[in-house]
């Protein structure tokens, strides 16, 4: 039986998730807010240089492929990303996350504090490893520090690792050992 995907309710978040899986551009969209529109243009077809129209045929073809692979499910006209799909996004995109340094440091420290149960040790280790790869420094056992804004990156990791309530991001204006961390991050005031 042929499935009909024409009644899917499109919203920018679901289209973005879809495009993230197919293209692996998740991190770029977090860092570059205009990227979702740029990605969406891949499914726009030009109508003689007038208004562009959403190319439902291409979108449906790609969506069917994702449903077949098990990355998304379609129920009641709504596209949902599956756990397998989230893992695929994680595999393709988490390694591409970057924190953009500020030209002029705002003199604020970002502290990531997490308490992930020991039953989720693999998730905890993967999250900790990703923090190191992002350039965070170890402050205490489950506390990491970074001098630059990183809310979007941390929110993305919370979502992908499914640990939203176990991770807190704190912005501080003063910390102990500030001199050490200024040197560690090569920041001169």
Rounded CA gap, 148 and 43, in Å? 35
Q: State the Cα–Cα distance between residues 181 and 47, nearest whole angstrom.
A: 55
For position 35, what pLDDT does the model report? 44
Classify 12-96 by CATH class: mainly alpha
Kindly tell me if the per-residue pLDDT of 118 is higher than 70: yes
Classify burial at 82, counting beta carbons within 10 Å of its beta carbon; exposed 0-12, middle 13-18, buried 19 or more: middle
Residue 144 CB: number of other CB atoms within 10 A? 21
pTM (two decimals): 0.57
Lowest-confidence range among 34-38, 50-54, 154-158, 175-179?
Answer: 34-38
Is residue 84 exposed (0-12), middle (13-18) or buried (19+ Cβ within 10 Å)? middle
Tokens 């893992």 label which residue? Answer: 87
pLDDT band per the 50, 70, 90 thresholds, residue 88: low
| Tokens, residue 61 | 């073809």
Pull the structure tokens for residue 24: 């692996």
Query: What residues does CATH 1.10.10 cover in the chain?
Result: 12-96
Asked if residue 156 has pLDDT above 90, the reply is no
Architecture per CATH, domain 109-184, reads as: 2-Layer Sandwich (3.30)
Query: Lowest-confidence range among 76-85, 137-146, 154-163?
Result: 76-85
59 in Cβ contact with 17 (< 8 Å)? no
The per-residue pLDDT for range 163-180, each reduced to its tens digit, is 888 999 999 999 999 999
The pLDDT, as a whole number, for residue 42 is 59
Cα–Cα dist 141/123, whole Å: 16
Residues of the chain with CATH 3.30.70.240: 109-184
Q: Strands, E, within the chain: which ranges?
A: 44-45, 53-54, 72-75, 78-81, 109-114, 137-140, 143-146, 167-172
């Amino acid at each position: 039986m042929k499935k009909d995907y024409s009644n899917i309710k499109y919203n920018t978040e679901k289209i973005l998730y879809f495009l993230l899986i197919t293209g692996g551009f998740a991190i770029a969209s977090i860092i570059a807010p205009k990227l979702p529109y740029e990605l969406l243009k891949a499914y726009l077809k030009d109508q003689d240089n007038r208004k562009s129209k959403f190319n439902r045929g291409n979108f449906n073809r790609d969506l069917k492929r994702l449903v077949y692979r098990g990355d998304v499910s379609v129920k009641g006209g709504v596209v949902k990303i599956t756990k397998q799909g989230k893992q695929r996004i994680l595999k393709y995109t988490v390694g591409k996350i970057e924190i953009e340094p500020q030209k002029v440091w705002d003199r604020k420290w970002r502290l990531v504090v997490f308490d992930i149960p020991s039953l989720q040790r693999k998730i905890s280790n993967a999250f900790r490893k990703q923090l190191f790869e992002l350039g965070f420094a170890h402050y205490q056992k489950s506390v990491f520090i970074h001098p630059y804004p990183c809310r979007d990156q941390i929110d993305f990791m919370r979502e992908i690792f499914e640990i939203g309530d176990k991770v807190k991001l704190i912005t501080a204006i003063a910390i102990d050992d500030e001199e050490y961390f200024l040197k560690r991050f090569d920041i001169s005031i």
